[in-house]
Every structure is written in C-alpha cells, then in structure tokens.
Amino acid sequence: MNRLTITTRSPAQTSALGAIIGRHVQTGTCIALDGPLGAGKTQLVKGIAIGTNVPPDVMVNSPTFVIVNEYPGRVRLFHIDAYRLSGSPEIVDLGIDEMLATGVVLIEWAQRVADALPDDRLNVSMAHVSETEREVTLQSPIHDHAQWMANLTENLDNTPTHN
C-alpha cells in the first residue's frame, strides 16, 4: 500500500499517528510535510519524535532561530521549515544529502523545495476538516510501506503520547 488517508480528531491523535510513523523511519527517510498554516505539520513531527524515542525533555518545535533543528533519538532527526527558505538551492546548500546519510529529514512546507528532495520519500499532506479534525494523506511513490500502513488505523487509538 502506498497511499492512505486518515482523519485525526485531536492534536493527540495526530501525535499518535506521528509516533507510529516514527517507529518505522530509518536513516535515509525523507518525510515531506505539506498543508496550510495550522494544519498540524509540527504536531505530527512531535509525534514522530516520540516514535523515534527522542527524550521527552527535548523541545520539538518549528525551527525559528536556526534553520534546522536536530533531535537525538533511535535515529537522528533533522527538522526543517522550508517556509523560511528561499527555495531548493538553499536546501542543497544546507546539506540535505549529508543529513539523509546520517539521519531522517522532516520538512515542513516541502512543496517549496520539492525539486531538491529525493523521489523516494514519504509525502504527508494535511488539511483542515474542522477545528479539531485533520485529514492526513500519506503517500509514498517508490517505497512500499504496506507493512505498517496496513494496521495504522487500528493502532491509532491505542498509542501512548506525551504531547
């Protein structure tokens, strides 16, 4: 399965979805997050951090003063907000290839720098449904994520979260 749409009904559920994704990411994984302001991209990243065992005292937020945030966990997580970047060349200059060689890259507003991202990535598109609901579409054009995507929905209600 390479495409799945899930509706989350709270920030905690989006975090829980992120945690399931986080348990399956590996060095070299690029996760491209898109959707409008407040769609929940950062909320999902917080969950991914939980799922990769980033210690709970590590702050996970959109990078503001620096362009890339790095979190330590089972794998290294590099968190980029392309909203603040001028475009694809900047992400190449930032060393995205080196980041993918040593960890997982999570990019908010990824469409802005799509040319510079690997084709083999997990695209996550988020949209508002209501004040507390978000539609999250996961799509992976190359890599087959069938194994964990198949039971994603079932697991969603039972996943512990910290955020």
Ligand X SMILES: Nc1ncnc2c1ncn2[C@@H]1O[C@H](COP(=O)(O)OP(=O)(O)OP(=O)(O)O)[C@@H](O)[C@H]1O
Whether 79 and 68 have beta carbons less than 8 Å apart is answered as: yes
Residues numbered 27-46 forming contacts with ligand X, rule: CB under 6 A: 35, 37-43
Q: Rule CB under 6 A: say whether 123 interacts with ligand X.
A: no
Residues 6+ apart with CB under 8 A from 119: 141, 142
Q: Rule CB under 6 A: say whether 69 interacts with ligand X.
A: no
Query: What Cα–Cα distance (Å) separates residue 81 from each residue in 13, 32, 132?
Result: 22, 10, 23
Whether 80 and 63 have beta carbons less than 8 Å apart is answered as: yes
Q: Which is nearer to ligand X, 62 or 102 (CB)?
A: 62
32: enclosing H helix or E strand: strand 30-34
Q: Which is nearer to ligand X, 140 or 161 (CB)?
A: 161
Question: Using the rule CB under 5 A, which residue among 16, 41, 85, 106 binds Mg ion?
Answer: 41
Q: Rule CB under 5 A: say whether 13 interacts with Mg ion.
A: no
Question: Using the rule CB under 5 A, which residue among 15, 42, 52, 140 binds Mg ion?
Answer: 42
Residues at the site binding Mg ion, with contacts judged by CB under 5 A: 41-42, 62, 108
